[in-house]
């Protein structure tokens, strides 16, 4: 799937994405009228990739809980919201228990992004090489790894068919984001099915060697972590 082309539909006034955006904007306006004040830190989330945002993106950020796929009715902004209390009191699955952030307007890498945060499975790959050329830091979280044996223990989470798909694409009995990404690029598997495999990896996976904190950055010729 061409994800850039998919997002282009936002610019077509009567597309379903444009209609959904207008509906979300209307709900945000209604929610902001009654939202209480209070500080908030924004964290961006996107599958196996993360971008830590600079503080000056907050004035043009909106937030919702649960995420937009669940058609939420609760919204807020950095200067006023009640979403943290909702998230703390809710009993959603751990994979869904987060506040979604939307940044309105451009996100320029050398102005608005503190760091690109990657899974360590991309170390010493073309992905790392490309990341090192960006005008922001490259950082690493501790990573997601899931063995097929562990995956089979959770066939009731997204369904047995996705467990079998995960076992099919696994390498040496192991799943990580690089493996799932490669399966997606191969064109041999349904992307929505691979997304369910990713859900299992993100929900039940763990670092292979959990010795470094989530913000750990590689220190070497390519650069050092900023203060």
Q: Quickly list DSSP for 148-217.
A: HHHHHTTHHHH-HHHHHHHHHH-BTTEE-HHHHHHHHHHTSS-HHHHHHHHHHHHHH-B-SS--S-TT--
Query: Per residue in 172-187, pLDDT tens?
Result: 999 999 999 999 999 9
Q: What's the mean pLDDT when you consider all of the chain? A: 79
* Measured distance CA(85)–CA(74) in Å, rounded: 11
Q: Is the pLDDT of residue 157 over 80?
A: yes
Q: Is the pLDDT of residue 72 over 60?
A: yes
Average pLDDT for residues 153-158, to the nearest whole number?
A: 95
* Measured distance CA(67)–CA(160) in Å, rounded: 25
* pLDDT for residue 210: 47
Average pLDDT for residues 127-138, to the nearest whole number?
A: 93
Highest mean pLDDT among 46-55, 110-119, 151-160: 151-160
Average pLDDT for residues 56-72, to the nearest whole number?
A: 87
* pLDDT for residue 178: 95
Query: Could you tell me if 57 and 112 are in contact, meaning their C-beta atoms sit under 8 angstroms apart?
Result: yes
* pLDDT for residue 218: 43
What pTM, to 2 d.p., does this model score? Answer: 0.66
Query: Could you tell me if 17 and 9 are in contact, meaning their C-beta atoms sit under 8 angstroms apart?
Result: yes
């Amino acid at each position: 799937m061409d994800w850039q082309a998919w997002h282009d539909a936002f610019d077509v006034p009567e597309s379903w994405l444009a209609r959904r955006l207008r509906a979300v904007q209307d709900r945000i306006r209604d929610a902001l009228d009654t939202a209480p004040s209070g500080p908030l830190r924004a964290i961006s989330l996107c599958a196996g990739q993360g971008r830590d945002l600079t503080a000056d993106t907050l004035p043009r950020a909106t937030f919702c809980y649960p995420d937009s796929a669940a058609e939420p009715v609760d919204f807020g902004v950095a200067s006023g919201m009640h979403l943290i209390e909702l998230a703390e009191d809710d009993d959603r699955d751990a994979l869904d228990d987060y506040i979604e952030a939307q940044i309105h307007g451009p996100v320029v890498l050398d102005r608005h992004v503190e760091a690109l945060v990657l899974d360590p499975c991309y170390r010493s790959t073309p992905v790392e090489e490309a990341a090192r050329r960006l005008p922001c830091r490259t950082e690493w979280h501790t990573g997601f790894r899931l063995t097929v044996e562990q995956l089979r223990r959770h066939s009731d989470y997204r369904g047995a068919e996705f467990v079998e798909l995960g076992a099919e694409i696994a390498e040496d009995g192991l799943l990580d984001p690089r493996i799932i990404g490669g399966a997606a690029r191969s064109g041999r598997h349904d992307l929505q099915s691979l997304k369910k495999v990713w859900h299992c990896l993100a929900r039940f996976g763990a670092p292979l060697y959990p010795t470094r904190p989530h913000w750990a950055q590689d220190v070497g010729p390519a650069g050092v972590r900023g203060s």
